[in-house]
């Protein structure tokens, strides 16, 4: 495989990975692990959103949620401005998307994003909201940004991540969490080893953290260090590792829980298939953790490593987006930035 083909393969791996983890984790979203077991059993394949899940009920089998939808909205906004982040354009695109999918009344938006976008919609300065944002709305949609850059472009990567994130989240933990996910994708696409992917993600995390508004939130660096230790401790015991992440690191909507959980799951599973299923059965913010973890795995291994049937289901269930078109545009920008 030549260099261009390999880059495209890994960009597509990022996009399909994100979409797969999101769609696989959708049915169990925001349920405790006990309820997942009771109502769905062990998830082994894509399922439609159950009527008893007030968020997932909005989606059919193989449909991805706001995590991937917003990631693509961000790409649309960047394409419009020739890949230079513009706060007004980003905000306009996100508000237009929320209006189009009726995110306001369908319980689709997370609390931080909803409050920030309502402020933008009303023409109000949202910084008082974004500076306190501790939930994972910015990190869940950032993986494709990591696919635009190479490791030597770390400063530009962080500048872009924070500019994109700032529209709804500008706290230290939001910047660090988004930078951690994007950095992991950047290193994965570059072919780094799994240990080096984690090291680069931590370096990006630290740069991002320094730029955000101070909060009291638990530190994503410390949580990821804990989570990687658990991954090493539970080698060969996937159920034990999953339970340890659920009980010790946390799998809720807070950035300091879901982001380290996702990066550690990627590190542990090392492929889209296993990461998607682990996240779906995990309990907590399953679709968001799945989206982030499988995006990293897809970036590392490329789309050719993913089941063609899974990719086809994503295409068939989400005809409003053409992931191959996005990937070509992203590759063109990546080559220009080289």
pLDDT in tens, 251-285: 999 999 999 999 999 999 999 999 999 999 999 99
CA distance 253 to 168: 15
CA distance 234 to 117: 41
For every residue of 90-150, DSSP letters joined together read HHHHHHHHHHHTTTTTTT-S-HHHHHHHHHHHTT---HHHHTT--BTTTGGG-HHHHTT--
- How open is the CA angle 220-19-171, to the nearest 5 degrees? 30
Buried b (16+ CB within 10 A) or exposed e, 162-175: bbbbbbbbbbbbbb
On whether the CB atoms of residues 11 and 147 are closer than 8 A, the answer is yes
Annotated binding-site ranges? 65-67, 285, 287-288
On whether the CB atoms of residues 155 and 103 are closer than 8 A, the answer is no
Q: Which two tokens stand for residue 153?
A: 């472009």
pLDDT in tens, 135-146: 999 999 999 999
Q: Which two tokens stand for residue 216?
A: 């009291």
Which of 96-105, 139-148, 231-240, 251-260 is the least confident region? 96-105
Tell me the Ramachandran region of residue 179: left when phi exceeds 0, alpha when psi lies from -120 to 50, beta otherwise.
alpha
| Domain housing 191 | 3-337
Q: Which two tokens stand for residue 100?
A: 């189009």
CATH number for the domain including 73? 1.10.4080.10
Q: Is the pTM of this model over 0.95?
A: yes
Compute and round to an integer the Cα radius of gyration of the chain. Answer: 18
Q: Average model confidence (pLDDT) for the chain?
A: 96
What pLDDT does 109 receive?
83
Please give the average per-residue pLDDT across 120-124, as a whole number: 89
Annotated binding-site ranges for Mg(2+)? 65-67, 285, 287-288
Q: Is 121 exposed, middle or buried (0-12, 13-18, 19+ CB in 10 A)?
A: middle
- Number of structural domains in the chain: 1
pLDDT of residue 301 exceeding 80, the answer is yes
């Amino acid at each position: 495989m030549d260099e261009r083909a390999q880059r495209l393969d890994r960009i597509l791996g990022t996009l399909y990975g994100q979409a797969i983890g999101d769609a696989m984790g959708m049915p169990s979203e925001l349920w405790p692990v006990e309820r997942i077991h009771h109502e769905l059993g062990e998830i082994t394949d894509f399922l439609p959103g159950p009527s008893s899940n007030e968020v997932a009920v909005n989606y059919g089998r193989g449909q991805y949620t706001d995590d991937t939808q917003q990631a693509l909205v961000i790409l649309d906004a960047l394409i419009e401005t020739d890949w230079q982040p513009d706060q007004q354009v980003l905000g306009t695109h996100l508000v237009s998307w929320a209006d189009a999918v009726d995110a306001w009344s369908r319980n689709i938006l997370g609390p931080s994003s909803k409050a920030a976008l309502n402020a933008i919609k009303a023409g109000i300065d949202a910084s008082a909201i974004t500076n306190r944002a501790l939930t994972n709305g910015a990190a869940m949609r950032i993986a494709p940004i990591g696919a635009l850059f190479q490791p030597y472009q770390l400063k530009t990567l962080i500048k872009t991540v924070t500019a994109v994130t700032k529209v709804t989240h500008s706290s230290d933990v939001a910047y660090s969490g988004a930078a951690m996910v994007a950095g992991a994708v950047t290193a994965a696409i570059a072919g780094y080893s799994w240990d080096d992917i984690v090291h680069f993600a931590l370096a990006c995390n630290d740069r991002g953290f320094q730029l955000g508004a101070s909060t009291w939130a638990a530190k994503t660096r410390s949580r990821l260090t804990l989570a990687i230790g658990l991954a090493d401790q539970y080698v060969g015991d996937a159920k034990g590792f999953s339970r340890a992440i659920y009980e010790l690191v946390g799998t809720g909507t807070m950035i300091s829980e879901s982001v380290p959980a996702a990066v550690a799951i990627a590190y542990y599973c090392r492929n889209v298939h296993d990461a998607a299923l682990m996240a779906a059965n995990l309990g907590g913010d399953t679709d968001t953790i799945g989206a982030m973890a499988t995006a990293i795995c897809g970036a590392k291994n490329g789309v050719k490593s993913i089941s063609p049937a899974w990719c086809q289901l994503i295409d068939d269930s989400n005809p409003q987006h053409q992931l191959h078109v996005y990937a070509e545009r992203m590759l063109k920008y990546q080559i220009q930035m080289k």
